[in-house]
């Protein structure tokens, strides 16, 4: 079968573009390259070898490259190598032509010396805008906002506003919302593009604007901004400084990146990793990211080992007790992790309000009681069938399982809620730590009950 028959349509297009690029067929390459979506352009670019990228820079202007760099998706540590290949003046011009917030995201991943060099080579206005954004912390509303937005004054007529909109729209990231400011650039209201279109040309913006505007401060956490945009279904969210001046907006595409980033971070922490791992990481890099958590878990595991040593006499007298340690510890760990996942997800999405925290804890504890009871009964029946004269063992194991699962669900809920109360990321209460903690508690319950009935067990 010919190779092309095994390739997708876009892969065939990429192959043709690569041939045109390598042959130096500028006109045809440009015509076909610009027929692609900007995302497809960025994917084609990322597949190129260093020499082919250099040829592409010769065929495309920095402004044309900036269009697909706005959508480019790369690992953070790959940007430095990418810009090492690119001429500094070309790179500076390209970054200055990008949407400012996207340019800042890239510059935050580069060495400070390189950032300083690019800013010095940039157009002065572009450099000023980007410097302003670089001053904000990456994880704040100011760090993800763009300063390319449309604003009008309340004293403008609709006709004047539409004329102004046509002038500034090409340089704005979005025009679905038109923000209304007063003479001191304080946010006064908002008008949708739809409202502008259907309004009478002679009406004043101040008469048709909505004065109730939801906004965030530049210092607000990006997760809070994402939550607001999700709750209100906004396409853009205004960002204010401490004097209520409108300094930028957060757009839906920025929030999608935030949600993806936060979800990846929470998943990594729930899995017991301090950083998000990538499939391109080497064995050494992967080990370095996992070791801190695993070392901590090793020390916690030693507590379990010490407890088993303390109950050595109990195990020596009734050896069969040891057979059910994995069952009780495993079930407690599983139920605790389930409750942890529910609590962390509820906190991150804002579903858990202050007044509903107690209700959630009671619900999870009730769930632990019911699931623990059902699993305990099943385990009791299995033990009495397999070990016919060990009814008391079955009762101890089953009751221990009931208590352990109840406490585990309560811990899985309360620990992240308490951490959130003190401003600590609840995802740090990772699954492995909750599981190990529940192992310790479940063993303590199990052997305490066994010791309480020891005279009956050995009698």
Would you state the pLDDT for residue 4?
46
Q: What tokens appear for 245 in the block? A: 């001046």
The Cα–Cα gap between 14 and 33 comes to 9
Is 146 inside a domain boundary? no
The Cα–Cα gap between 378 and 340 comes to 25
Most confidently modeled range among 27-31, 220-224, 297-301, 318-322: 27-31
Provide CB contacts within 8 A for 107, sequence distance 6+: 95, 115, 118, 130, 134
Looking at the fold, whether 444 and 308 belong to one and the same domain comes out as yes
The Cα–Cα gap between 133 and 111 comes to 17
Predicted confidence (pLDDT) at residue 228 exceeds the cutoff of 60: yes
Provide CB contacts within 8 A for 71, sequence distance 6+: 38, 39, 42
Kindly report, residue by residue over 157-176, the tens digit of the pLDDT.
999 999 998 888 887 777 88
Kindly report, residue by residue over 396-423, the tens digit of the pLDDT.
999 999 999 999 898 888 888 888 787 7
Predicted confidence (pLDDT) at residue 225 exceeds the cutoff of 60: yes
Q: What percent of the chain has pLDDT over 90?
A: 37
Compute CA 288 distance to the chain's CA centroid, rounded to the nearest angstrom. Answer: 21
The CATH number of whichever domain residue 37 belongs to comes to 1.25.60.10
Is 144 inside a domain boundary? no
- Nearest alpha carbon to residue 98 among 128, 126, 138, 135: 126
Kindly report, residue by residue over 251-310, the tens digit of the pLDDT.
888 888 887 777 666 666 655 555 555 655 667 777 776 677 677 767 777 877 787 787
The CATH number of whichever domain residue 305 belongs to comes to 1.10.357.20
Q: Are strands 236-240 and 216-217 parallel, antiparallel or unpaired?
A: parallel
Arithmetic mean of pLDDT, 182-210:
91
Looking at the fold, whether 223 and 258 belong to one and the same domain comes out as yes
Arithmetic mean of pLDDT, 68-74:
87
Kindly report, residue by residue over 134-154, the tens digit of the pLDDT.
999 888 999 899 888 889 998
Is 241 inside a domain boundary? yes
Is 278 inside a domain boundary? no
- Nearest alpha carbon to residue 239 among 147, 321, 373: 147
The Cα–Cα gap between 302 and 309 comes to 10
Would you state the pLDDT for residue 58?
93
Looking at the fold, whether 66 and 198 belong to one and the same domain comes out as no
- Rounded mean pLDDT of the chain? 85
Out of 111, 139, 167, a domain closes at: 139
Q: What tokens appear for 100 in the block? A: 């400012």
Would you state the pLDDT for residue 1?
34
Arithmetic mean of pLDDT, 194-200:
91
Q: How confident is the model at residue 428 (pLDDT cuts 50, 70, 90)?
A: low
Looking at the fold, whether 119 and 174 belong to one and the same domain comes out as no
Q: How confident is the model at residue 429 (pLDDT cuts 50, 70, 90)?
A: low
Predicted confidence (pLDDT) at residue 85 exceeds the cutoff of 70: yes
Selected residue with higher pLDDT from 430 and 364? 364
How do the residues of the chain divide into helix, strand and coil, expressed in percent and rounded to 5? 70, 10, 25
The Cα–Cα gap between 336 and 309 comes to 25
Is 322 inside a domain boundary? yes
Looking at the fold, whether 358 and 398 belong to one and the same domain comes out as yes
How would you write the chain as a 3-class SS string? Answer: CCHHHHCCHHHHHHHHHHHHHHHCCHHHHHHHHCCCCHHHHHHHHHCCCHHHHHHHHHHCCHHHHHHHHCCCCCCHHHHHHHHHHCCHHHHHHHHHHCCHHHHHHHHCCCCHHHHHHHHHHCCHHHHHHHHHHHCCCCCEHHHHCECCCCEEECCCEHHHHHHHHHHHHHHCCCCCEEEEECCCCEEEEEEEHHHHHHCCCCCEHHHHCECCCCCEECCCEHHHHHHHHHHHCCCEEEEECCCCEEEEEEEHHHHHHHHHHHHHHHHHHHCCCCCCCCCCCCHHHHHHHHHHHHHHHHHHHHHHHHHHHHCHHHHHHCHHHHHHHHHHHHHHHHHHHHHHHHHHHHHHHCCCCHHHHHHHHHHHHHHHHHHHHHHHHHHHHHHHHHCCCCHHHHHHHHHHHHHHHHHHHHHHHHHHHHHHHCCCCHHHCCHHHHHHHHHHHHHHHHHHHHHHCHHHHHC
Is 276 inside a domain boundary? no
Looking at the fold, whether 234 and 367 belong to one and the same domain comes out as no
Is 272 inside a domain boundary? no
Would you state the pLDDT for residue 338?
84
Kindly report, residue by residue over 335-389, the tens digit of the pLDDT.
888 888 788 777 766 677 766 778 888 888 899 999 999 999 999 999 888 877 6
Out of 139, 169, 188, a domain closes at: 139
The CATH number of whichever domain residue 179 belongs to comes to 3.10.580.10
The SS3 assignment for 24 reads coil
The SS3 assignment for 219 reads coil
- Domain count along the chain: 3
Would you state the pLDDT for residue 60?
95
Would you state the pLDDT for residue 6?
62
Would you state the pLDDT for residue 224?
87
- Neighbour count for residue 48 (Cβ, 10 Å): 17
Looking at the fold, whether 45 and 174 belong to one and the same domain comes out as no
- Nearest alpha carbon to residue 248 among 346, 349, 321, 140: 140
Out of 240, 267, 294, a domain closes at: 267
Looking at the fold, whether 108 and 167 belong to one and the same domain comes out as no
Looking at the fold, whether 360 and 403 belong to one and the same domain comes out as yes
Looking at the fold, whether 299 and 340 belong to one and the same domain comes out as yes
Would you state the pLDDT for residue 2?
44
Is 145 inside a domain boundary? no
Q: What tokens appear for 415 in the block? A: 């620990």
Would you state the pLDDT for residue 354?
67
Looking at the fold, whether 130 and 180 belong to one and the same domain comes out as no
Would you state the pLDDT for residue 188?
92
Domain that holds residue 113: 3-139
Looking at the fold, whether 50 and 134 belong to one and the same domain comes out as yes
């Amino acid at each position: 079968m010919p190779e092309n028959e095994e390739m997708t349509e876009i892969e065939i297009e990429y192959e043709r573009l690569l041939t045109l690029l390598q042959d130096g067929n500028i006109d045809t390459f440009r015509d076909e390259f610009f027929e692609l979506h900007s995302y497809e352009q960025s994917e084609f670019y990322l597949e190129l070898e260093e020499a082919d990228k250099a040829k592409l820079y010769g065929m495309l202007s920095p402004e044309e490259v900036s269009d697909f760099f706005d959508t480019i998706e790369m690992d953070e540590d790959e940007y430095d190598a990418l810009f090492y290949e690119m001429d500094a003046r070309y790179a500076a011009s390209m970054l200055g032509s990008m949407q400012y917030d996207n340019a800042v995201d890239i510059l935050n991943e580069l060495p400070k010396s390189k950032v300083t060099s690019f800013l010095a080579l940039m157009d002065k206005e572009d450099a000023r805008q980007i410097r302003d954004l670089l001053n904000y912390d990456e994880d704040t509303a100011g760090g993800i906002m763009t300063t390319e937005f449309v604003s009008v004054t309340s004293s403008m007529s609709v006709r004047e506003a539409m004329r102004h909109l046509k002038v500034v729209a090409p340089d704005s990231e979005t025009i679905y919302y038109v923000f209304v400011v007063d003479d001191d650039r304080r946010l006064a209201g908002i008008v949708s593009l739809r409202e502008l279109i259907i309004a009478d040309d002679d009406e004043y913006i101040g008469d048709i604007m909505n004065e109730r505007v939801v906004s965030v401060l530049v210092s607000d956490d990006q997760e809070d901004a994402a939550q607001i945009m999700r709750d209100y279904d906004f396409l853009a969210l205004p960002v204010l400084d401490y004097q209520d001046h409108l300094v930028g907006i957060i757009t839906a595409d920025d929030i999608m990146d935030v949600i993806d980033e936060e979800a990846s971070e929470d998943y990594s922490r729930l899995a017991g990793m301090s950083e998000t791992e990538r499939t391109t990481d080497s064995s050494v890099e992967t080990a370095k990211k996992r070791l801190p958590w695993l070392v901590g878990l090793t020390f916690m595991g030693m507590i379990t080992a010490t407890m088993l040593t303390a109950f050595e006499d109990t195990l020596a007298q009734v050896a069969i007790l040891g057979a059910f340690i994995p069952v009780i510890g495993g079930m407690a760990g599983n139920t605790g992790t389930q409750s942890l996942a529910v609590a962390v997800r509820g906190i991150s999405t804002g579903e858990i309000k202050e007044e509903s925290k107690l209700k959630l804890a009671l619900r999870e504890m009730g769930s632990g009681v019911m699931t623990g009871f059902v699993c305990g009964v099943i385990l009791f029946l299995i033990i009495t069938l397999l070990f016919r004269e060990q009814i008391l063992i079955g009762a101890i194991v089953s009751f221990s399982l009931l208590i352990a699962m109840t406490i585990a669900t309560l811990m899985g809920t309360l620990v992240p809620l308490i951490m959130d109360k003190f401003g600590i990321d609840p995802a740090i209460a990772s699954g492995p730590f909750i599981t190990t903690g529940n192992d310790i508690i479940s063993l303590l319950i199990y052997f305490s009950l066994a010791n309480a009935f020891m005279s009956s067990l050995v009698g």
